[in-house]
């Protein structure tokens, strides 16, 4: 199915509201999210080359995320939620035992500022009435646990930085590490891109207003440069002459050694040549959020104006 058509359907379906649900007291919910992030891209990853998605997961680069959201329940099965998340992602080839990645020796970290809107579909409908199992209390008890799936779209800001040999971090985009701006170099990239969050979650009701939950979501993106790596090596001498020594280091911080059988001879003579693959252009970058959330339903009154005539 065309990706644009799928996105339109995800946003339109929840808008088909239930008239009875509209009369409920609680339609809006404020959500506080906090948890961990992980990066899926060219830099770092598992101890295998050529892996993708969750097979390339490396728990050692898990970092933090915190966010604030507003959920609007359109009916008992659907909701729309807007989120603003602040997090950080990172990767380090030195943590991988795969020879090519380990020798490449690229590292990065980047802030992620994400604003997204998503549709949520619930597997069970939320019921009104009393939550507590109290004796002689009549009425319909609400569901204690609700599981849901979600999908949507958003934009995010990123700014990859690399750790220099002196321990200081430098912004990598201005350094043109793949020859951006030079003849035959990679195309320049910006600081913003689109993301498409998809995932699963569950909520546990504490009382009529409060609930806690957990969710896992992956964000596919339209950029391959969250880690500043996605193309080929550029001639390092040219980068040095045009952009300086620090740019030349980050363009090729490799250890210059490769085991025998992998194109090297176990010495420090191995050198990446211009035109060799630096990153894998086949896959764009992605990142994951695993969060715990605390939710509070905002009470509201719905009054109808009746004519006296």
pTM of the complete model: 0.83
Task: Report yes or no: 78 and 122 within 8 Å, Cβ to Cβ.
Answer: yes
CATH code for position 234: 2.40.160.20
Confidence (pLDDT) at 295: 97
304 is a domain residue: no
User: Which pairs with CB-CB distance under 8 Å and at least 24 residues apart come from 121-129?
Assistant: 121/13, 121/14, 121/77, 121/78, 121/148, 121/149, 121/150, 122/76, 122/77, 122/78, 122/79, 122/146, 122/147, 122/148, 123/147, 123/148, 123/149, 125/76, 125/77, 126/73, 126/76, 127/76, 128/24
Ranges in the chain, pLDDT < 50: 1, 15-23, 129-135, 137-140, 307-309
DSSP 14: G
Q: Give the chain's radius of gyration (CA, Å).
A: 25
Considering the domain boundaries, does residue 206 fall inside one?
yes
* Domain contains 171: yes
pLDDT at residue 306 in the model: 52
d(CA 188, CA 247): 15
d(CA 211, CA 145): 9
pLDDT digits over 149-200, tens only? 999 999 999 999 999 999 999 999 999 999 999 999 999 999 999 999 999 9
What per-residue confidence (pLDDT) applies to 214? Answer: 97
Residue 197 lies in a domain: yes
Range of the domain at 161: 29-299
Angstrom distance (rounded) from CA 72 to CA 84 = 15
What is the predicted pLDDT for the residue at 178? 97
How far from the centroid of its chain's Cα atoms is residue 54's Cα?
A: 13
**Domain contains 306:** no
Strands (E), the chain: 26-40, 63-73, 78-92, 107-122, 145-158, 161-163, 169-171, 192-205, 210-221, 286-299
Q: Cα separation of 113 and 157, whole Å?
A: 5
Looking at the structure of the chain, the number of domains it has is 1
pLDDT at residue 135, as a whole number = 47
How far is it, in rounded angstroms, from Cα 279 to Cα 272? 13
Asked, for residue 4, whether it belongs to a domain, the answer is: no
Q: Is 12 helix (H, G, I), strand (E, B) or coil?
A: helix
CA distance linking residue 99 with residue 121, whole number of Å: 44
Other Cβ atoms within 10 Å of 185 Cβ, number? 19
In a domain, residue 288? The reply is yes
Q: What is the pLDDT of residues 295-305, one digit of tens each?
A: 999 987 655 55
Q: Is the dihedral of CA 73, 75, 76, 77 positive or negative?
A: negative
pLDDT at 127: 60
**18 domain residue, yes or no:** no
| Predicted pLDDT at 260 | 59
> What confidence score (pLDDT) does residue 282 get?
86
């Amino acid at each position: 199915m065309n990706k644009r058509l799928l996105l339109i359907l995800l946003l339109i379906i929840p808008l088909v509201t239930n008239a009875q649900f509209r009369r409920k007291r609680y339609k809006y919910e404020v959500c506080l999210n906090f948890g961990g992030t992980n990066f899926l891209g060219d830099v770092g990853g598992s101890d295998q080359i050529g892996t993708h998605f969750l097979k390339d997961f490396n728990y050692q680069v898990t970092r933090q995320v915190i966010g604030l959201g507003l959920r609007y329940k359109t009916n008992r099965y659907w909701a729309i939620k807007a989120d603003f998340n602040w997090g950080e992602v990172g990767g380090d080839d030195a943590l991988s035992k795969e020879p090519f990645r380990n020798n490449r020796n690229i590292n990065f970290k980047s802030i992620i500022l994400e604003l997204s809107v998503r549709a949520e579909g619930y597997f069970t409908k939320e019921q009104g009435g009393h939550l507590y199992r109290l004796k002689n209390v009549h009425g319909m008890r609400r569901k204690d646990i609700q599981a849901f799936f979600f999908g949507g779209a958003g934009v995010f800001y990123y700014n990859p930085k690399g750790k220099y040999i002196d321990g200081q971090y430098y912004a990598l985009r201005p350094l043109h590490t793949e020859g951006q701006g030079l003849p035959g170099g990679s195309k320049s990239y910006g600081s913003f891109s689109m993301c498409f969050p998809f995932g699963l979650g569950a909520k546990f009701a504490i009382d009529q207003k409060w609930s806690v939950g957990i969710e896992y979501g992956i964000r596919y993106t339209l950029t391959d440069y969250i880690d500043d790596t996605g193309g080929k090596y550029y001639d390092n001498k040219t980068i040095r002459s045009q952009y300086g020594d620090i740019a030349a280091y980050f363009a090729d911080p490799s250890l210059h050694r490769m085991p025998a059988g992998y194109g090297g001879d176990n010495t420090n003579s191995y050198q990446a040549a211009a035109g060799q693959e630096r990153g894998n252009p086949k896959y764009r970058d992605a990142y994951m959020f695993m969060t715990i959330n605390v939710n509070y339903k905002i009470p509201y009154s719905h009054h109808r104006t009746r004519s006296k005539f």
